[in-house]
Amino acid sequence: MLALFNIEQWLDKGGLALASLIIFAETGLLVGFFLPGDSLLFLAGFLASGPKGLPHLPSIWLVVPVLAIAAFVGNQVGYLIGRRFGPSVFDRPDSRWFSQRNVTRTHEFFELYGTKALVLARFVPIVRTFVPVMAGVGKMDARTFMGANAIGAVIWAGGVTTLGYFLGQVDVIKNNIELAAVAIVAVSLIPVGIEFVRHRREPPDETASAD
């Protein structure tokens, strides 16, 4: 991996605390969209399985809830940022750390899936960073957001980390961990792909057509 995204090295130096901070930043702060959340979760689970010759993380029973909480709190912060500062959050020119293209992509995703976007977006890099902020800008009901946020945090952070833990005990995965981390990003997109296909197969809204 490139040095910037040598996640194994990150976790070796910063451990669970740094992993939690990265997950929080990617899911709650607009500047965190470039962080590799899926790969980090997978590797955190892998390292919690205690592979020989690699840095270890604490027990999986601690790693999973801590990362899930970080993902939950991150999205709550993103929601509050959007709610507090409104449309001005997205009304900025393109820069190194901000792109209107990402905003447009997130808006389309949110329009397509509605509340379900809060759960599905967890599995889509970049989009998961902007969706909670957009929900805040749109003044989504706080309880509705919190419930969907909790479900998404548990499924994403808990699921991907646990998968890394169990696969970390398989020899072929141990010997090809970097490829496995990349593959997990592709696999994590499957729920979104299924939902997209299902949506495309739904019959058109006859009421809308009549209008």
Which residues constitute the domain of residue 73?
11-201
Beta-bridged to residue 98, according to DSSP, are 95
Domain-located, residue 157: yes
In a domain? residue 207: no
Residue 2 vs residues 7, 8, 178: alpha-carbon distances, Å: 9, 11, 11
pTM, entire model: 0.76
In a domain, 209, yes or no: no
Rounded to whole angstroms, the Cα distance separating 150 from 153 reads: 5
* pLDDT recorded at residue 209: 43
At 1 the pLDDT is: 36
Low-confidence ranges of the chain (pLDDT < 50): 1-5, 205-211
5 within some domain? no
Q: How far is it, in rounded angstroms, from Cα 129 to Cα 45?
A: 22
Report how far apart, in Å, the C-alpha atoms of 67 and of each of 27, 95, 99 are: 11, 30, 27
For residue 42, count other CB atoms closer than 10 A to its CB.
30
Give the pLDDT score at 205. Answer: 46
Average pLDDT, the chain: 76
Instruction: Look at residue 152 in the predicted model and tell me its pLDDT.
Output: 93
Domain-located, residue 53? yes
Residue 23 lies in a domain: yes
Q: Enumerate residues 6+ apart whose C-beta is below 8 A from 103.
A: 90, 130, 134
Q: Flag whether 189 is in a domain.
A: yes
Give the pLDDT confidence score for residue 4 in this predicted structure: 38
Residue 208, pLDDT score: 42
> Using CA atoms, how far apart are residues 192 and 8, in angstroms rounded to an integer?
27
Structure tokens at 99: 């792109």
State the total domains in the chain. 1
